[in-house]
A = this chain, B = another copy of it.
Amino acid sequence: MAIGRETVENILKLTNPKWKTSITRIEPNKIVTRGYPQEDLIGNISYPEMAYLLIKGKMPSEKDSKMFESVLVSFCDHGVTPPSTQVSRLMASTGSSMNSCVSGGLLSFGKYHAGALERSMKILQELVQNGVIGYNGPLQSHHDIRAVAGVVVDEFFNNNEKIPGFGHRYHSEDPRASKLIKIAEEYGCNGVHTELALAIEEILFEIKGIKMNIDGANAGILSDLGFDWSLGTGVFMMGRLPGIISHVFEEKTIEPPFRKIFDVDEIHYQDTEVKTRSLAKVMNKK
């Protein structure tokens, strides 16, 4: 054979690689993430810096890193009120493993739960990039922002829809939103997306007394930090994960297994009039 097997194998691998990545390179005794050996990262960077580096491929500035940390902390927990937490705890009570219970919680993030962050980010990012009719192209001046906010509010109102990121099921004034905005101003992270969100809030509050919620605030801030809207749920999951884990742990340590969240006689059967049917009548063939 004129050419070694190994040579051909290597040629094949180079010309037709099955797995490509820019995130982490693995060699014996060497783990290099986004260009940094991991042993240099451990102890030297914070968790939010690590997450930012992994996702965006570069280290954040100190201010951006502090801002991103505040965003993550703000998502930490909302008690036993969200369906995701209830799901994780119910699963914990059947003896499912920690990672199964956590997955159940994460899979509970649907259109009506935790979906507002991404929708809000998407709206802000599209508006900032494209503007609206009459204000085409990227938003620039403060004047633009106010005008666009007005058009947005009108459009949602005319369609009888809620603007994601504003108003809350439990809180008329979400204490997390105003704190986040204050921090964004402190760190200078209140860019055009955050300004747009605030402009929308101003109009909404005047007309309907509705205020920005945690999702609206974080949608503006994360967009200004340069996160693509499709990463919204990802960021939310990072923030919420410790809370879900603590609920699963609490459930497993204080509650009896297979616990009942209601009594059997609390179930309402909707066709109570139906008598027990005879199968024989239906199935002639047997």
Contacts and interface: CB of A to CB of B under 8 A. Distances in A.
Contact of A104 (B2, B70, B108, B246): B108
A55 to B, nearest CB: 5
A233 to B, nearest CB: 5
A91 to B, nearest CB: 5
A188 to B, nearest CB: 14
A2 B2 contact: yes
A286 B107 CA distance: 37
Interface string A29-40: 111111111111
A143 to B, nearest CB: 31
Interface string A1-38: 11101001111111001111111111011111111111
A285 interface: yes
B18 A261 contact: yes
A107 B104 contact: yes
Interface of A: 1-3, 5, 8-14, 17-26, 28-48, 50-51, 54-55, 59, 62, 66, 69-70, 72-74, 76-81, 83-84, 86-87, 90-91, 93-104, 106-115, 169-176, 178-180, 182-183, 228, 230-231, 233-234, 237-238, 241-243, 245-250, 252, 254-255, 257-258, 261-271, 274-277, 279, 282-283, 285-286
